[in-house]
Structure 1
Amino acid sequence: MPHSSESKTPTSAYQSLFPIFTFIKPYRGTVALALFFLMFTAGVSLSLGQGVKMVIDSGFISGSVDQLTSTILILIAMISLLAFGTFFRFYLMSWLGERVSADIRTAVFNQIVRLHPSYFEENRSGELMSRLTTDTALLQSIIGSSFSMALRSFFMLLGGLAMLFITNLKLSMIVVICVPLVLIPMVIFGRRVRRLASSSQDAIADIGTYAGEIIQNIKVVQSYNHETLEQAAFGQEVEKAFDVAKKRIKQRSFLFAAVILLTFAAISVMLWVGGTDVIAGKMTGGELGAFIFYAIMVAMSMATVAEVYGELQRAAGSATRLLELLDIESAITSPINPLPLPHKNDDRKNGVAIGFHNLDFYYPSRPDVAALRNINVTIEHGQTVALVGPSGAGKTTMFEMLQRFYDPQKGNITLNDISLEQLSLSELRDVMGMVPQQPVLFSTNVMRNIGYGKPQASKDEIIDAAKRANAHEFIEQLPEGYESFLGEQGVRLSGGQKQRIAIARAILKDPDVLLLDEATSALDAQSEAYVQEALNKLMVNRTTIIIAHRLATVIHADKIVVMDKGQIVDTGTHQSLLISSPLYQRLCELQFEQAK
């Protein structure tokens, strides 16, 4: 995906951060309180310069212990106020950073789960995870810490400059001359830092994507003895990211070094000029001490602003990446005024009838190759319909179209004579239950995996669904029963056990339309017997569509749709297709001959 942050002008760094403030608006009260304590601590810090002047002129030079004691006590009181204000400033700004970061992370995740499936064909999951974690963490640091430091330093910079003029006009003019010299490297190096920051974030995303893929397929890597090969390849990815980071760090280091050199060189000049004035009696030692205090404060504030400026440049890249994602509009959305879908769960005869009408479809990632062409098929209430054909015939694509993961380029699909695009997505998908060939289980316990089909279900309902799926017995034998953790993608279960958990989930959902993607093809004979029995129970009185690779499982289907190269080549029953369809005959001959 292109990253527009690299092509924008330097001024857009702040423009790209402005939309982030919409996430701060709900916490205006906290912001106001934090700003109050921020200005309070800045004011107290500035008053310390006068405390230093009092200690020198009224304490040291006067020679009075009482006056010295009084001025020291006043100084301690100021420092105590500074500590009090700093506590609240730091707490409130840090709280705000964490809160806004959590809100942004939630908004990004909410956006991701609503996006159309074709988006994930064109964008890597590792990059999306980087935006969800690394980018939001960087913004949290900016809002909760760096932004607070920048504001405080800015106030102290302005206040310090004012106090410098009040304390000594001649020395202040030296400061005024030096300030533009400090700003020049901030602009030059800050621009470079921002460009490199965006590249650095992309490189980190590449690392996450690569590592995630290897870890997910670790058994394949080890079975081919590619551990060393993958270690070397991952090392190269890490080095690429390090090289980009090294360039960014180099530019930031130049920025800090230039600011420190110029500011403290100016302070050295002021010390010489001020020292000669004290020797000549033109100013007191306390005035010089206060002026040096304010000059150092201004220098430190400038250094902090320079450092935060680099951070803001880096955050601008993250903000741009996040806003790009938040601005994406899903290609698959519910209509503003959806039509109601008439169906009754308690009477399957009044359930959902399905129609594919003159349907053509091309995947967005393969726009030149038709996945489906001129599809016309009607599925009546309560029918069991099988989709058969060689791999790549378009069977799974029909399932995806039916659940409206994609919209056709031509034609339409109807449920009860209502086009899918006129229905609410949630209502459409609510009447369908999917049992895939490779069941998807989440890294949680059995209870929550089955309960995913109906989040509000009671424990008794979940156990009943497990019993109907022939899963209750093996679940009870797990170490903690229904509370047993299944590991990533259900790694602690066998293939047949995973499949029965997926069937229990579908039973719990109690859908009008059941979609079965050959749920028994990868199982051994005993597991297949358990799963097939569970499926037979699930299919009773439902409209069922089966993707069938093993024709023996669908010879009793009400209708068999034979597909090849994205087209329907014949439709009928098992017996009629043995006569009318050469492709079906060939598939049957191959499978039943092998079964002998």
Structure 2
Amino acid sequence: MSTYGRIISFAKPYHRYFPQYIVFALLAIIFSLTNLALLEPLFTVIFETKTQEKLAKLATVGDFEFSGSYFKGLFYQKLIAVRNTYGKSSMLIYVSIVIGTSALLSNLFTYFSNVIMGYMRAEVIQKIRDKVFHNTSGLHLGFFAGERKGDIMSRMTNDVQEIEVTLISSIKVFFREPATIIIYLAFLFATSFKLTLFTLVFFPVMGTIISEIVKRLKKKALLSQESLGRIVNLMDEVFGGMRVIKAFNAKGYVNDLFNKETNQYKKISMSMSRKNELASPVSQFLGIIVVATLLVVGGNLVLSNESDLEAEQLLTYIIVFSQILNPAKSISQSVSNIQRGLASAERIFKLIDEKAKIENKTNPVIIDQFSQHIEFKQVGFTYEKEPVLQNINLKVNKGETVALVGSSGAGKSTLADLIPRFYDATEGSISIDGHELRDIEIKSLRHLMGIVTQESILFNDTVAKNIAFAMPDAKEEDIVQAAKIANAHNFIMELEHGYQTNIGERGGKLSGGQRQRISIARAIMKNPPILILDEATSALDTESEKLVQEALSNLMKNRTSVVIAHRLSTIQHADKILVMEKGRIVEQGTHQELLKLGGIYHKLINMQSV
């Protein structure tokens, strides 16, 4: 399906509104034309440009028929009656009332059609934005590691807005403006077939010139949206890393980066603007040339008496024809907008079409408890051709605490990430209670796990809602109890509004230790049978670490825990300690066993005790 076809496909559920829109739009066009068509009878009667015999003939109507000539005859009849009875001044008032009523109806129906279109547009845009967000939020973690977050946000905001403009422009290009031109042309043909046939020669010329301008817009539109995405990404990074920027006196450096990107966006926008704005004056200039030509050709026809065209008809003809220029101009502008929208849509559909690498199998196994063990067999993991884990063999029994230690980049976090299927092993197999992870429904698998990471991931909401994240029915007493176990209750109660205090973006109103304790309280609140603690105490000071470590020790009783530790003093009582190096398990055993071994673990202990 084409890019444009996919945009329109989102409007399918709302097709029931199209008939209403079409009816209102057509009525608006007809009443708008009526305002102009009334000029000819007005000029004819008030200035008496025809003999009484011709006027009487124009005012003669036969049996009722739904046609322009019938209603035109009635209007002549009424005009002559008002003129003869009340005079020309009263006739002008009468015509003004008719024209005013027609204008009111035209604008009223335009309003109704725009309201319907606005409703459809809002529904479609919401559907597109929801589709993009739902698909993107379900993608694997590796996708986000390789994409700029700002660019993703730009697609969901700026690019979707461009699609909204495309939808409006599409209605103009494919219905409203063409319908206006067709109805107006029908009137012109009825007024003077020969003159209208002559004017049609100019439309292909205008279309060819404008299409040549528009053809160059799509590439520039794509570059523009990509540049805007980089700007958003840079702003996100700068505002998120303001502490580092100020500490390194990097204001000038980031300003230069920003200026460079905005300058690139300016150049692309200026190039687009030159091409985009050229279509309108070109179409307007060509239109004026056509009107001037019509005045010459039509005027000669009237003066030479070579056709039935009369002076008041020519005047009305030129006025009506000039109104065709606006929809023609609008079409050229709309086509330009559509090109921008198509470029944005391609970026949007890349997100929609992106497939999650971590998906459920057909009819997956649903597990609601953990009763035996987690087992790794010959597990390997490669990221972008770079081996991260190799030949991992490990069994974690229920109730055990297994600690992972080693230097940075040894593969500890990757090993832990394989358990909740944030990534899938590229070699070997991982199972829980004998079920291969790939066979288990992802939601039920992750429901068994509580995770606290090294970086406290908090949201711009209250303390209570961060602790009870994704648990809208959580009871207040349970939230408080979880905070107490995490040794967070006391500092929470000292906040301005206690548990209802908003902690700011990413928990920015709290200290590092406070943020980490709320993260731990969130894991406690979930009450999972399996805990994954990725250096969960690394952000705490000595006093806070002692309090939280005590809470974690209580929490881990009778639970299975996988602990990634930086401070080795926190995992000395683990049932099993795995020492990792370059993606392999090189040592394993209890704290005492590894000390006796005198290997890498022994060296790490000595380094931290210095």
TM bracket (short chain): over 0.9
Counterpart contact for 1:496–1:531, Cα < 8 Å = no
CA apart distance, 1:107: 0.9
Identify the residue that residue 86 of structure 1 maps to in structure 2: 110
Counterpart contact for 1:97–1:142, Cα < 8 Å = no
Identify the residue that residue 205 of structure 1 maps to in structure 2: 229
**2:590 is equivalent to residue 573 of structure 1:** yes
Identify the residue that residue 573 of structure 2 maps to in structure 1: 556
**2:159 is equivalent to residue 135 of structure 1:** yes
CA apart distance, 1:230: 1.6
Counterpart contact for 1:384–1:557, Cα < 8 Å = yes
Identify the residue that residue 296 of structure 1 maps to in structure 2: 322
Counterpart contact for 1:341–1:416, Cα < 8 Å = no
State how far apart, in whole Å, the 2-side matches of 1:100 and 1:453 are: 28
Identify the residue that residue 336 of structure 1 maps to in structure 2: 362
CA apart distance, 1:466: 1.2
Cα pair distance change 1:570/1:301, threshold 3 Å: same
State how far apart, in whole Å, the 2-side matches of 1:427 and 1:315 are: 40
1:479 to 496, 499, 516: 496
State the secondary structure of the residue aligned to 1:519.
coil
Identify the residue that residue 49 of structure 1 maps to in structure 2: 36
Q: What does 1:328-367 correspond to in 2, within 5 Å?
A: 328-341=354-367, 343=369, 351=371, 353-363=373-383, 366-367=384-385
Cα pair distance change 1:289/1:427, threshold 3 Å: same
**2:145 is equivalent to residue 158 of structure 1:** no
Identify the residue that residue 454 of structure 1 maps to in structure 2: 471
Counterpart contact for 1:390–1:564, Cα < 8 Å = yes
State how far apart, in whole Å, the 2-side matches of 1:581 and 1:54 are: 109
The range that moved more, 271-280 or 155-164, is 271-280
Identify the residue that residue 74 of structure 2 maps to in structure 1: none
State how far apart, in whole Å, the 1-side matches of 2:123 and 2:93 are: 45
1:262 to 286, 306, 320: 286
State how far apart, in whole Å, the 2-side matches of 1:375 and 1:430 are: 25
**2:542 is equivalent to residue 525 of structure 1:** yes
Cα pair distance change 1:342/1:283, threshold 3 Å: closer
1:149 to 163, 166, 172: 172
Amino acid in the other structure paired with 1:332: I
2:275 to 241, 247, 251: 251
- 1:364-411 per-position Cα deviation (integer Å, ceiling 9, x unaligned): xx31x2100000000001101111111111100011111111111110
The range that moved more, 519-528 or 263-272, is 519-528
**2:192 is equivalent to residue 168 of structure 1:** yes
CA apart distance, 1:285: 3.0
CA apart distance, 1:261: 1.5
State how far apart, in whole Å, the 1-side matches of 2:260 and 2:32 are: 49
- 1:27-63 per-position Cα deviation (integer Å, ceiling 9, x unaligned): 1222332222112212222223311222222334468
Identify the residue that residue 36 of structure 1 maps to in structure 2: 23
State how far apart, in whole Å, the 2-side matches of 1:399 and 1:453 are: 22
CA apart distance, 1:450: 0.6
1:323 to 349, 352, 368: 349
Q: Compute the TM-score of the two structures, normalised by the length of structure 1.
A: 0.92
Counterpart contact for 2:452–2:532, Cα < 8 Å = yes
Identify the residue that residue 9 of structure 1 maps to in structure 2: none
1:23 to 1, 7, 10: 10
Counterpart contact for 2:516–2:539, Cα < 8 Å = no
- 1:399-436 per-position Cα deviation (integer Å, ceiling 9, x unaligned): 11111111111101101011110011111111011111
State how far apart, in whole Å, the 2-side matches of 1:435 and 1:187 are: 57
Kindly tell me the number of residue pairs found equivalent between the two proteins.
570
1:58 to 22, 45, 54: 45
State how far apart, in whole Å, the 1-side matches of 2:595 and 2:250 are: 48
Cα pair distance change 1:59/1:416, threshold 3 Å: farther
Counterpart contact for 2:368–2:448, Cα < 8 Å = no
CA apart distance, 1:201: 0.7
Point out where structure 2 has 5 or more consecutive residues left out of the alignment.
50-82
Counterpart contact for 1:332–1:406, Cα < 8 Å = yes
CA apart distance, 1:352: 5.1
The range that moved more, 27-36 or 54-63, is 54-63
State how far apart, in whole Å, the 2-side matches of 1:172 and 1:99 are: 41
Counterpart contact for 1:517–1:546, Cα < 8 Å = yes
State how far apart, in whole Å, the 2-side matches of 1:45 and 1:408 are: 67
Cα pair distance change 1:32/1:464, threshold 3 Å: farther
Identify the residue that residue 401 of structure 2 maps to in structure 1: 384
State the secondary structure of the residue aligned to 2:201.
helix
State the secondary structure of the residue aligned to 2:362.
coil
Q: Compute the TM-score of the two structures, normalised by the length of structure 2.
A: 0.90
State how far apart, in whole Å, the 1-side matches of 2:97 and 2:300 are: 31
Point out where structure 1 has 5 or more consecutive residues left out of the alignment.
1-11, 344-349
State the secondary structure of the residue aligned to 2:38.
helix
CA apart distance, 1:342: 5.3
CA apart distance, 1:581: 5.2
Identify the residue that residue 395 of structure 1 maps to in structure 2: 412
Counterpart contact for 1:58–1:71, Cα < 8 Å = no
Counterpart contact for 2:165–2:337, Cα < 8 Å = no
Q: What does 1:478-497 correspond to in 2, within 5 Å?
A: 478-497=495-514
Counterpart contact for 1:453–1:506, Cα < 8 Å = no
State how far apart, in whole Å, the 2-side matches of 1:409 and 1:435 are: 25
RMSD of Structure 2 on Structure 1 (CA): 1.7
CA apart distance, 1:454: 3.0
